[in-house]
Amino acid sequence: MGILVPGAGVIGLTARPKAGVVLIGTGGTIAGRGASPVNTSAYDCSVLSIDDILADLPAAASIADISAEQLFQSGSENFGSAQLLQLGKRISSLLKRDDVDGVVVTHGTDTIDETAYFLHLTLKSAKPVVVVGAMRPPSALSSDGPLNLYNAIVVAASPLAHGKGTLVVANDEIHTARDVVKTSTFKQEAFRSPYGPLGYIVEGKPVFYRLPARPHTVESEWSIDEIDVLPEIGIVYAHGGMNDSMVRAMLDSGVKALIYAATGNGNVATSVVASLVDARARGIHVVRGSRTGGGMVIRNAAQPDDHYDWLVTDDQVPHKARILMMLALTGEHNARTLQNAFLTY
């Protein structure tokens, strides 16, 4: 046997090489720049390249063998189906390489939870994929970007992250893509999961305390390699005194399904019921969600879903229910099958 020397591996044995991690830059606040160090909310977004960002983080080289590429340079509010498909297919091709142990995506925080959930459901690999952003640009005092990125690389390089699906790392926390939601416009602790994070990064090491409970990646029924088109899904946000004009406008826009972000437990105002019933008559699926941001929408509780042939989101927030519905409609259109997707994933 070899001799163990602290910090030097085992003498006489070949040291394990560092993990290979690919960074994909897509823009966002983590690539932004403000006019002064106190510009934490007002700044130019997506002006730094992934190489610029990495050059200011030399400590990352000690974690992994890192390569980087720029795929997009845009705020994530501009991400649509084309960007989701392109990003997913690029990551899928990277994960098939023997020299790639994990992938990190730098991303704007506006839709980071949507992109991460899409990847969580479509990438067929147990290798870790970590999506990371920042609430403050690198030019700001106390920017969270450098440490967030360092921690993301730590997680992507760790064997402990294998099999846990796509993860979002922010503010020293590790979140599953299924649960995480952005909850603040400016706070560094903007990202929350209703059931808590999976774990934390402590002193540069990932520590996990729970696992994702719902199927993902290799257990998912969707594969990014088999998807070339995503159907259009709309969201209508309910409010007091609502009429059906916005619903009918959405139905006329060509959507294949409508997520109704209802009040409370998926409550639908009487003034809107007829338009949603009409949606199903026109072959457009209706999914009752909740604008509250938490809790379950229970089938046949606030509305007779069986009678109207409507669906419910279970506990998923409306904008992520949209991602799931897009994927579900790439296959079976049967309402029972679609409802099962919400109860399964």
> Whole-angstrom Cα distance, residue 65 to residue 231?
38
Give the active site residues: 29, 109
> Whole-angstrom Cα distance, residue 54 to residue 336?
47
Question: Hey, what amino acid is at 166?
Answer: T
Structure tokens at 79: 């991400």
> Whole-angstrom Cα distance, residue 154 to residue 157?
5
Q: How far is CA 291 from the centre of its chain?
A: 19
* Pair 154, 206: CB distance under 8 Å: yes
Rounded to the nearest 10°, the torsion over CA 175, 179, 46, 49 is 40
Beta strands 129-132 and 173-176, pairing class: unpaired
Structure tokens at 89: 């297919």
